[in-house]
Amino acid sequence: MRELEKIHGMNFDEFEEQLLKSREPNERSVDTYFRWADLVHAYRGYVEGGELHCVVEEETEASLDEISALTPKRLELLCALSDSKSESINDLARKVHRNVKNVYNDLQILKKLGLVNLVKKRDRKVVPEAIAEEITFVI
């Protein structure tokens, strides 16, 4: 949302008002509006209810090194994270029947690839969260 505000030099409400005032909005502005609206509504839902529900499709090109970093064990971690919430790295390691240290190392690599977040909680636990619900590879 901040990126869109920076690009357009205004907040969502101002953008919406400007779009509604234009007689013939261009397709790009309309697409931007719907993308921005999805983000705003998801954020407002998060603030009100504590859950963030937003679908954003992105296409990115990955290098051969990045793709080769997605080993079967790391892909298994991504699947486990998207299937059910883990309370900690230890919890995730238990779910996938793997050593905690190896799971932690794999999560660090997945974090560098931009596929997971590691959120520190007040009780000093680190909770792994999948950033993407679905990943499609096109070759």
Q: How much is the pLDDT for 51? A: 60
pLDDT at 122 over 90: no
Mean predicted confidence (pLDDT) in 81-87: 86
Q: How much is the pLDDT for 88? A: 92
| pLDDT band for position 61 (cuts 50, 70, 90) | confident
pTM for the full predicted model: 0.60
CB-based contact 89:103 (threshold 8 Å): yes
60 three-class SS: coil
| pLDDT band for position 9 (cuts 50, 70, 90) | very high
Q: What would the DSSP string read from start to end of 80-138? A: HHHHS--SSHHHHHHHHT--HHHHHHHHHHHHHTTSEEEEEPTTS-EEEEES-S-----
pLDDT at 84 over 90: no
Q: Where are the domains of the chain?
A: 2-49, 64-130
Identify the architecture of domain 64-130 in CATH.
Answer: Orthogonal Bundle (1.10)
Q: How much is the pLDDT for 2? A: 83
Looking at 28-37, 53-62, 81-90, which range is the least confident one?
A: 53-62
pLDDT at 44 over 80: no
Mean predicted confidence (pLDDT) in 34-51: 76
Mean predicted confidence (pLDDT) in 33-59: 73
